[in-house]
Amino acid sequence: MPEFCVTGGTGFIAAYIVKALLDKGYSVRATVRNPDDVDKVGFLLEMNGAKERLKLVKADLMVDGSFDDAIEGVDGVFHTASPVLVPQNNNYQETLVDPIIKGTVNVLASCLKASTVKRVVLTSSCSSIRYRYDVQQVCPLNESHWSDPEYCKQYDLWYAYAKTLGEKEAWRLAEEKGINLVVVNPSFVVGPLIAPQPTSTLLVILGIIKGKLGEYPNTTVGFVHIDDVVSAHILAMEEKKASGRLISSSTVAHWSEIIKMLKQNYPSYPFETKCSDKKGDDNPHSLDTSKIQKLGFPSFKTLPQMFDDCIKSFQEKGLL
């Protein structure tokens, strides 16, 4: 059976990819910052098949060569590790842009050293597609569209700025070095919590439900169930015909619509009522997912499905 490396193994998407690969009988090496931190990595070691087929390897996005051991000898690499939180201190370059770009460069360098790697699947984002001045004119957005870094800078969309530059660098290297690269571009990922504590995207949802943020984001965004994102990654790795970028997204909605839907189903929670006045992230748009569906991808799960699964897991873990 093939063996795969998953970078950033404790992340929301990465942890689910590790689980899916183990469930399929594959051997997995997951990179983490500290393999001895049981509080952080323990849940990975408890997954079915982990005892026999999961190895945790220490690696750091910013350290040259730190992915060599994890990638040496594997058949494929899922590069999912990425900082997500926008820094409070406005130090975007150091906390977001550099780790995303340098991490991608480091992982691809390790892939080149390891002659066994047949394909690299990179987790990018719809953030590297949907931020443009002409977004409404060019909709539906597809894999040929790219976010405009100047637009991102104008509206302080630093995560999108970093993801766009990081993905472009990955494509530049892949072309230059002959790497078989496939990129998955998920929209905002929703679903049940797998780790002991919620990661950044789930913290936003939890904060909105509990009314703890002060306001909800003025954001119109595609949403996608974690199960669909994982299936897209596995398809991107296993399907020979998969190539280029693959949008992974279900319904596009404004957060106000999400809150309205959730209030009807969960009236007892004190949802955020005030919308942020921040502009730039509120453009109505649509996303074309026909490319991934032509590869045999089933239909995407609905908004109620993904949020119900998410809230149910918050309740089970005592967070709501």
**pLDDT above 80 for 90:** no
pLDDT tens-place string over residues 153-170: 999 999 999 999 999 999
| % pLDDT > 90, the chain | 90
Residue 59, domain member (yes or no) = yes
State the Cα–Cα distance between residues 201 and 168, nearest whole angstrom. Answer: 23
What pLDDT does 88 receive?
62
Q: pTM of this prediction?
A: 0.96
In this predicted structure, what is the pLDDT of residue 198? 87
CA atoms within 13 A on the CB side of 208: 26
Residue 86, pLDDT above cutoff 70: no
- pLDDT tens-digit map of 210-221: 999 999 999 999
Domain of residue 243 covers: 3-189+223-250+287-297
Average of per-residue pLDDT across 261-285: 96
Q: What is the 3-class SS of the chain, one letter each residue?
A: CCEEEECCCCCHHHHHHHHHHHHCCCEEEEEECCCCCHHHHHHHHCCCCHHHHEEEEECCCCCCCCCHHHHCCCCEEEECCCCCCCCCCCCHHHHHHHHHHHHHHHHHHHHHHCCCCCEEEEECCHHHCCCCCCHHHHCCECCCCCCCHHHHHHCCCHHHHHHHHHHHHHHHHHHHHCCCEEEEEECEEECCCCCCCCCHHHHHHHHHHHCCCCCECCCEEEEEEHHHHHHHHHHHHHCCCCCEEEEECCCEEEHHHHHHHHHHHCCCCCCCCCECCCCCCCCCCCECCHHHHHCCCCCCCCHHHHHHHHHHHHHHCCCC
Q: Is residue 302, in this structure, part of any structural domain at all?
A: no
Is 231 a domain residue? yes
Residue 248 has pLDDT above 70, yes or no: yes
* CATH code (residue 129): 3.40.50.720
Residue 128 pLDDT > 60: yes
In a domain, 227, yes or no: yes
pLDDT digits (tens, 9 = 90+) for 10-37: 999 999 999 999 999 999 999 999 999 9
Total domains present in the chain: 1
Provide the pLDDT confidence category of residue 87 given band limits of 50, 70 and 90: low
In a domain, 141, yes or no: yes
Give the residue-averaged pLDDT of 203-213.
Answer: 95
* 14 inside domain: yes
- Residue 263, in any domain of the structure: no
Predicted confidence (pLDDT) per residue in 130-146, tens digit: 999 999 999 999 999 99
Average pLDDT over the chain, rounded to whole? 95
Domain annotation covers residue 196: no
